[in-house]
Structure 1
Amino acid sequence: MFIVVLRSLLFVIVLFITTKLLGKKHISQLSLFEYIAGITLGDIAGEVILNSSLSVMHGILGIFVFAIISYLADVISLKSKTLRNVIEGTGTVLVEDGKLLEGNLKKEHYTIDDFSTLLRQKDVFSLAEIEYAVLEPKGMLSVLLKKENRPITPKDLNMKVPSEKAPQTIIMDGNIVYDSLTKAGKTPSWLRMELEKLGVTQDNVFLGQVDSYGELTIDIFDDKIKLAEAQERPLLLATIKKVQADLEMYSLQTDNKEAKLMYRKNANKMEQVKNKVKMYLGDNI
């Protein structure tokens, strides 16, 4: 029993090192070759662990031989498209120009039920919605919807939208992540002030993130506490609108032509400012 435990611990370490050397590709969606290599590595480890008559060194050697073969296959795949197609396979078109290619479906041994399941995983429930679909070498289905069935994007509406960056996690499990706080361009004093606005303490924050607009979003340990909502952007937009409305009102109230012209001119400027910043302030109307 003790020998089995020791062998298990040893091969866990060996397989961990092997997987780290092979890279993240081998723990994502597997190609056919990677699938075979993965099964073989696990089978070698399991056999040596449970069979005390087998040499541990032979098992480790076998694992590293398969790891080297797998690594060389990756290198070859990078250098030759022909060999890459042989090792990793190629995609199979299942729908083209809105028509289901039954021959290719049978070639991949997929039934219409299997195909329908893959479509539902892509939130597609009708074949009529699809323009093009291909079964990738790693078993995933890529779908291109017909143009009329695709979601509308700001580009379709000729709308300009601000670029966004990945949010920075600045609080984790009640502790400040200072590197992320610096990347977000914020300081500990700013963070304390923002937490005071929300009415919470740092110790009660499970997760805190800063978005592209510099706003703090938090999740707290005690879900029963109701957080105050951040109002800076809505208040700023409301202030701009009020200034514009006041200027327009002043232009209507005065009889002085120069003053009327000045008020209208500045009201138009505020209108331009509002149109430029409203997408950043949460108003897309």
Structure 2
Amino acid sequence: MPDWIEVALRALLYIAVLFLMTKFLGSKQISQLSFFEYISGITIGSVAAEVITGVDAKIMHGIIVLIIFGVVTFGVDVLSLKSKKFRDIAEGKSTVFIKDGKVMEDSLKKKFYSIDDLNTLLRKKNVFKMADVEFAVLEPNGELNVLLKKENQPITLKDLDIKAGNEKAPQTVIMDGKIINNALTEANKNQQWLDTELGKLGVMLDNVFMAQVDSYGQLTIDVYDDKLKIPSPQQKPLLMSSLKKCQADLESFSLQTDSEEAKKLYTENAEKLQNAIELLTPYLKG
């Protein structure tokens, strides 16, 4: 058998073996690596490369090495779940770099990080002034997590004492010009509604690359023709406009009537509608 064919067959075999090992070990090894997993990954890659390209090397020897490293890595993960001491050794500990707005110089030296390194990590978190940081911790995987000082944190609805409903994940109801019926059902919509909405936008189904329905029942689309301008969804602005018109009509009716009872009824309902408008403004604005 020619060498190039043997190398190709070995490559295909080890791709399959490594794929199965990765599935067995889980996605953690892909998303983040501990010290031990980093070493294990390098070794597994080196062994696989050596056996694939080394025609004289025995295939089974390489597979045995991969299996051993895979089992040991899995065993380390299991022990890490059961013992914090072992987890600290195998995966490392978090290190506080900034506490109460003060840089912990000893922690930086311990991890061999300079101020420039710290500033680089902060910029990756979109923080350009160290004085804005209240707390920063370096995770075992090398990522820096940052807590800004209270005055530098973005304002939330909770800060404004505004109650917000649960936000649901948008449903992709059209993909590559084809309707996804399961997603449409999940969004509590049907094909007739979808056809109507597409008609409002003046778009044919075949021209839609992707379409999503958000928590508020609004349809947003992306078409194949990037030069084609699609009007923005108008359901929320139209609803807000209708509410304001109704509220203004109630106030107008209260001024026009001579009946005190009717005037009181119109005024009370106008106030209730105004309160509803103020409550819904964050959701229907724009």
Q: Deviation of residue 107 (structure 1)?
A: 1.0
Q: Does 1:245 align with 2:248?
A: yes
Whole-angstrom CA distance in 1 between matches of 2:136 and 2:233: 44
SS at match of 2:216: coil
Whole-angstrom CA distance in 2 between matches of 1:111 and 1:275: 50
Match of 2:84 in 1: 81
Whole-angstrom CA distance in 2 between matches of 1:123 and 1:273: 37
Match of 1:59 in 2: 62
Which amino acid is the alignment partner of residue 87 of structure 2?
A: R
Match of 2:172 in 1: 169
Match of 2:107 in 1: 104
Match of 1:230 in 2: 233
Where structure 1 has 5 or more consecutive residues not aligned to the other structure, the ranges are none
Q: Does 1:196 align with 2:185?
A: no
Q: Report matched runs for 1:125-144 at 5 Å.
A: 125-144=128-147
Match of 1:50 in 2: 53
Q: Deviation of residue 251 (structure 1)?
A: 1.2
Which amino acid is the alignment partner of residue 3 of structure 1?
A: E
Q: Deviation of residue 277 (structure 1)?
A: 3.4
TM-score, normalisation: structure 1: 0.95
Which amino acid is the alignment partner of residue 115 of structure 1?
A: L
Which amino acid is the alignment partner of residue 228 of structure 2?
A: I
Q: Does 1:278 align with 2:281?
A: yes
Whole-angstrom CA distance in 2 between matches of 1:176 and 1:74: 42
TM-score, normalisation: structure 2: 0.95
Match of 2:97 in 1: 94
Q: 1:215 aligns with which of 214, 218, 221?
A: 218
Whole-angstrom CA distance in 2 between matches of 1:185 and 1:22: 38
* Alpha carbons 1:45, 1:59 under 8 Å: kept: yes
Which amino acid is the alignment partner of residue 84 of structure 1?
A: R
Where structure 2 has 5 or more consecutive residues not aligned to the other structure, the ranges are none
SS at match of 1:170: strand
Whole-angstrom CA distance in 2 between matches of 1:157 and 1:131: 22
RMSD (Å) for aligned C-alpha atoms: 1.3
- 1:218-271 CA-partner distances (Å, limit 9, x unpaired): 111101111123222211221111111111112112222222222212222322
Q: 1:41 aligns with which of 41, 44, 47?
A: 44
Distance change >3 Å, CA 94–CA 225, structure 1 → 2: same
Distance change >3 Å, CA 193–CA 156, structure 1 → 2: same
Percent sequence identity over matched residues?
54
